[in-house]
Chain A
Amino acid sequence: MRWKSLSESIGVEYTKVAEIKGPLIIIDGVTKASFDELVEIETTEGDRRLGKVLEVGYGKAVVQVFEGTTGLAITGTKAKFLGKTMTMPVSQELLGRVFDGLGRPNDGLPDPVADKFLDVNGEPMNPESREYPTSFIQTGVSVIDGMLTLVRGQKLPIFSGSGMPHSILAAQIARQATVVGTKEDFAVVFAAIGVQYSEAQYFKRSLEESGALRRSVLFLNLADDPAIERIITPRVALTVAEYLAFDLGMHVLAILTDMTNYAEALREISAAREEVPGRKGYPGYLYTDLANNYERAGRIKGKNGSVTQVPILSMPADDITHPIPDLTGYITEGQIVLGRDLFRKGIYPPVNVLMSLSRLMKDGVGEGKTRSDHMEVGNQLYDLYSRAQEVRALAEIVGKAGLTGVDLKYLDAGDMFESYFLKQNPDENRNLEETMARAWAILSTLPEGELTKIKDKHVKQYHKKADK
């Protein structure tokens, strides 16, 4: 219905515009319209824009215009109600293509042929039909594989801040992600939501250079594109991701950046509708709305494919308690938090491991999946780094001289963790064995008795007894 057929679309047309405010246009005298229906607005100049019905009744329809209301007039504007909700045409031909934020091709190539049209809002996946995610994804990034394991079908966001290298990390994951022992590559669905041109370009080039572009689909809503369009961008992207995964059986990595821009667009609409705000002016339904996007990840019983989601969001003023990261963390299965301190120290990836977490790690690692000591080693590393941070803080007060023997060991182990385990190059792909070897090298600088999170048999097997 979109693409070529857009201009031929049929529907009921109304011309009585009652009010235009912010991203909303209110049409009067509406007799046939349904909630969530797609609307085509025609300006006096003959431009066509898309919108959808937010509220309908008593002869009025409140329509949200994706491309903004700039230039719309009370007289002369036509609104055609198209009789269906917004859909995205999908087919295998989408792979390798670039679309705008509403899902229209913008790479200058001919429109792909549609296999079917899918409602961009999707439907909630039945928990009964879900397959629990358990396949370990090797990203080649030590801190992720060793301590924050990503699992196929997981949603694991990156919480970042302005200027930090979240795009580099996401691109590295997209290039390197593999499921050990399989030859299946990930298809990448990338949604740029209000990001700068350079960032989107970086990502595209990175996919191109690694040859992954032909199994990627890109949706670009850039910083200078209409803000309200951003409401739709993750939805069309995830609709395509679900299609690739559950209709075509592919393993899809969906990267959405930056969800903060998405939430801000949502707030703009909510404010224009004069709704009672929740925290910081964001609508009370922000949690539900975000969940409707984030929950579109996972695996389905009896189907081959999967959708693994890596949303990126920038924390306003690096504040993790801000509603956007806060509500996101309540929905996603963990979070990778980038830390300003590590970034200033020049450590890449600057992952603040103590604030980060992968909830599904326990299910993706261990005997038969990775290694039987994987989870314990991860936990012990957390413990080590947390103790090291405490000792660091203490050393600042009492000086290094005031520290006891074990504390000094932790201090050194913490430094080694940062330089030898956490730090790696953006093009360095470490396999799990190497990651684990590095972990044990650090753990071995501590006396065996300190490894209280690791079973004795694993300590015996792997501890290098450096202190003896």
Chain B
Amino acid sequence: MVAKGKIVWVSGPAVKADGMSSAKMYETVGVGDTKLIGEVLRLTGDTAFIQVYESTSGLRPGEPVVGTGQPLSVLLGPGIIGKIYDGIQRPLDDIAQKSGAFIGRGISTTPVPMDKKYKFSPLLKKGDSIAGGSILGTVEETPLLTHSILVPPTHPGGEITEIVGEGEYDLEHPVAYVKGKNSAKSELKMYHKWPVRRPRPYTDRYDPTVPLITGQRIIDTYFPIAKGGTGAIPGGFGTGKTVTLHQIAKWADSKVVVYIGCGERGNEMTEVLVEFPHLLDPRSGRPLMERTVLVANTSNMPVAAREASIYTGVTIAEYYRDMGFDVVLVADSTSRWAEALREMSGRLEEMPAEEGYPSYLASRLAEFYERAGRVRALGSPERAGSVTIVGAVSPSGADFTEPVTTHTIRFIKTFWALDTRLAYSRHYPSINWMQSYSGYLEDVSKWWKENVSADWYDLRAESYHILQREDTLKEIVRLLGPEALPDEEKLVLEVARMIKIGILQQNSFDKIDTYCSPEKQLKLVRLMVKFYKESQNSLKGGKSLADIRAMPIITSLLKAKFEIPDDQMPKLDELDRRMSEEFKGTLAREVEVTV
């Protein structure tokens, strides 16, 4: 029996209702005459404490509250890709149709059109046995994506007594009938529902060993993330969190991207909506929107739905993972989610821990990041899929010791620290190469060796070593000036500057520079390392640093990133030859002079 109660108290997004003794924890309820969507957070006697996902302006005590008997769930089936949802999976385009440019309240929609017909191709036949998670058949969701129709993971399994033939069906049309152990019969449709706060189950978990290629040099080459891994990107405002996340969403070599705009700017979501349909995936040549799902709960949308948006997004990501795809989930920003948690906690009058955040902040963060991973999916056929989670963190005052950042660091393996000082000098992406780290470096180096070049690991280490040396030398320069250093060390500063400009800095808004293939990344690194070694030799051969600084090749090396596109790789080899010649030329001149 569903609960039917009455509102007794309202304060912002928090509502208390009496007569709710049959309500369950985390059940969704309809609040008030307009049936605003809410969720039960606490039960005391027959009083339920409810967080409401819409504005409660005008709500009054005495209005009804009706339970649904269901926890907050998402609908999973074809039609999700390309959509933009609010925090509780309501399509924003449907809301716009119903309430205009401004979001009204109490609007009910379906997450995907239930009457749209999809061409279903069965993979199984009558008599086949199935288990939870098995693939019944497929549907072409977008030209980029073949959607597998999954048996709900909690299904007890059984034998197919009937399955429809290839044909067009809408989502409510049963596609298969199953007889279970106790001859219990069930029908299966092309969709099922899943509670967002419950991770979808899998058979087994694998180690992440394949890098997620993002086309961003500092990420792929220096601080890689593996498919199925976790990463966080904390940074003060203006350090470029959102731009970096957009870059990952655009260029990552995953099959599906789930982008969660959690308490962020409205125009940023609009930017994705405007840009992605026109941007082409570098691998398939199809519009990026055909692999993207957006969950947008902007900063001015109700705060409780912001809390839910993270779960909505990760559940959708897990669903596509279960089809055997690599999925990337980016969440911008987890700090706003934590603030939503804090706000509800405050209204519940819970005892606060650090900075007013609830004591369960850390465990909630851990639960969220733990939903990443590379897994063997349930059911047959055997398949592996992954969810990679990248979360932005917006530390107050760019202070990395605040609770959300410190707790997040405990649960992630790749850490891209954004640096306000780098951003001020317009070094973008402003990822600090001394503070950042990747726990996947060793895991993915095999892939690089096998797929790009055997010397990847060494080149990376050599170039990184130059940056490390520069970091220590900088202290001396700060105190004594650069002239206090011997030429050998000045050369380190010079080459570090070249690596910073020519490799680490990357312009997301430049047509060519925005994506850099792994091959090009490696060639650029190799050029810089070679330049360093050749210069060292020249110095030893008696050449002055001024001569090296005057070499015309330097400017070409620094601009190669945006002057030479990925499909003109021989030009980089040409640069290599020119460099050798220039060094030979100067050395030769040197010899002439001494003779």
Contact = CB atoms under 8 A, between A and B. Distances in A.
B396 A128 contact: no
Interface in A318-359: 321-323, 326-327, 329-331, 333-335, 354-355, 357, 359
B60 A34 contact: yes
Contacts of B426: 354, 379, 382-383, 386
Given A36-B56, A125-B266, A128-B92, A397 B299 contact: no
A449 B481 contact: no
B100 to A, nearest CB: 7
A354 B424 contact: yes
B387 to A, nearest CB: 24
A303 B552 CA distance: 53
Contacts of A394: 477-478, 481-482
Contacts of A379: 426, 507
B398 A321 contact: yes
Interface in B93-129: 93, 95-96, 99-104
Interface string B254-267: 00000001010111
Contacts of A85: 57-58
A308 to B, nearest CB: 12
B381 interface: no
A210 B72 CA distance: 57
Given A57-B61, A321-B399, A398-B483, A298 B425 contact: no
Interface stretch (A39-47, A188-196, A255-263, A281-289): A281-289
Interface string A299-312: 01101000000000
B397 interface: yes
A130 interface: yes
The binding surface of chain A is classed by DSSP as mixed
A449 B355 CA distance: 50
Contacts of B478: 394, 397
Given A56-B61, A354-B424, A128 B273 contact: yes
Interface stretch (B5-13, B311-319, B442-450): B5-13
B481 A397 contact: yes
Nearest to A37: B58
Interface in A79-118: 85
Contact of A300 (B9, B55, B101): B101
A326 B402 CA distance: 14
B544 interface: no
Given A54-B11, A284-B346, A295 B298 contact: yes
Interface stretch (A67-75, A173-181, A228-236, A272-280): A272-280
B270 A292 contact: no
B58 A285 contact: no
B56 A35 contact: yes
A279 B355 contact: yes
B358 to A, nearest CB: 10
A125 B398 CA distance: 29
The interface centre, meaning the residue of B104, B238, B298 with most chain A CB atoms within 10 A of its CB, is B238
Contacts of B273: 127-128
Interface string B446-462: 00000000000000000
B61 A126 contact: no
Given A54-B11, A122-B102, A449-B554, A127 B266 contact: yes
Interface residues on A, range: 35 or more
A450 B228 CA distance: 42
A7 to B, nearest CB: 24
Contacts of B57: 35-36, 85, 119, 121
A246 interface: yes
Contacts of B342: 278, 284
A404 interface: yes
A331 B424 contact: no
B424 A355 contact: yes
Interface residues on B, range: 35 or more
A123 interface: yes
A279 B395 CA distance: 12
Given A278-B355, A285-B343, A330-B394, A130 B267 contact: yes
A357 B425 contact: no
Nearest to B342: A284
Contacts of A355: 424
The interface centre, meaning the residue of B84, B101, B339, B509 with most chain A CB atoms within 10 A of its CB, is B101
A455 interface: yes
Contacts of B296: 127
A32 interface: yes
B397 A128 contact: no
Interface in A241-260: 246
Interface in B553-588: 554-555, 558-559, 562-563
Nearest to B345: A276
Contact of B339 (A276, A284, A326): A284
A257 B507 CA distance: 35
A124 B102 contact: yes
A159 B303 CA distance: 27
B300 interface: yes
A57 B10 contact: yes
B245 interface: no
Contact of B336 (A119, A132, A287, A334): A287
Given A33-B60, A124-B102, A402-B483, A58 B396 contact: no
A284 B343 CA distance: 6
A55 interface: yes
B151 interface: no
B541 interface: no
B501 A295 contact: no
Interface in B461-490: 477-483
B11 A331 contact: no
B356 interface: yes
A354 B59 CA distance: 47
A323 B396 CA distance: 7
Nearest to A321: B397
B482 A404 contact: yes
A360 B243 CA distance: 12
A397 B300 contact: no
A375 interface: yes
Given A36-B56, A291-B299, A126 B271 contact: no
Contacts of B236: 321, 326, 329
A367 B439 CA distance: 42
A123 B352 contact: no
A208 interface: no
Contact of B93 (A54, A122, A128, A334): A128
11 contacts: A127-B266, A127-B296, A128-B96, A128-B270, A130-B101, A132-B267, A295-B300, A300-B101, A301-B101, A330-B237, A449-B555
Given A124-B301, A126-B92, 15 more contacts: A35-B60, A36-B58, A56-B60, A123-B104, A125-B266, A130-B267, A278-B356, A287-B336, A288-B343, A326-B237, A354-B426, A359-B238, A375-B509, A379-B507, A452-B555
Q: What 7 A-B pairs are tightest by C-beta distance, nearest first?
A: A57-B9, A398-B481, A291-B299, A321-B397, A329-B237, A34-B60, A386-B425
